[in-house]
Amino acid sequence: MLISRTSRYQRNVTALVQDRNGATQQYIVHRVPTAMTLQVNDYLWQQGDRVDSLAADYYGSESSWWMIAEANPHVLDWADVAPGTHIRIPRVA
């Protein structure tokens, strides 16, 4: 199983796991949550902003929106972010 470079699971490993019926399947092994140290850009959410559009602007890929979501656990619904909300946008190397 190849994990896409833009996937939120890109840092995870995969493993072969046997299900209850005895079939072997490859699964993504979830990481134990750890504290994150990030270099971020501060961003003030504007009316009409969308997290996928911000990801496209900052990372060149709309599908990288999850990087912004992981850095902002206080935002529970990305479809309903109030204008003026402070957002952290992680810098990538």
- Mean pLDDT, the chain, rounded, equals 86
Answer yes or no: do 27 and 55 share one domain: no
Cα distances from 38 to residues 19, 86, 90, in angstroms, run 37, 16, 6
What is the pLDDT, as a whole number, of residue 1?
65
Cα distances from 18 to residues 9, 26, 30, 74, 79, in angstroms, run 21, 9, 16, 36, 38
Cα–Cα distance, 49 to 25 (Å, whole number): 39
Answer yes or no: do 24 and 58 share one domain: no
List the domain range (segments joined by +) for residue 26. 1-34
Pair 88, 38: CB distance under 8 Å: yes
Answer yes or no: do 26 and 55 share one domain: no
Answer yes or no: do 50 and 75 share one domain: yes
Predicted confidence (pLDDT) per residue in 24-36, tens digit: 988 777 777 666 6
* Res. 77 pLDDT band, cuts 50 70 90: very high
Question: What is the count of structural domains for the chain?
Answer: 2
Answer yes or no: do 58 and 30 share one domain: no
**Among 34-43, 52-61, 63-72, 77-86, the least confident range:** 34-43
Answer yes or no: do 47 and 83 share one domain: yes
Answer yes or no: do 18 and 39 share one domain: no
Mean pLDDT of 40-51: 96
Model pTM above 0.75: no
CATH code for position 93: 3.10.350.10
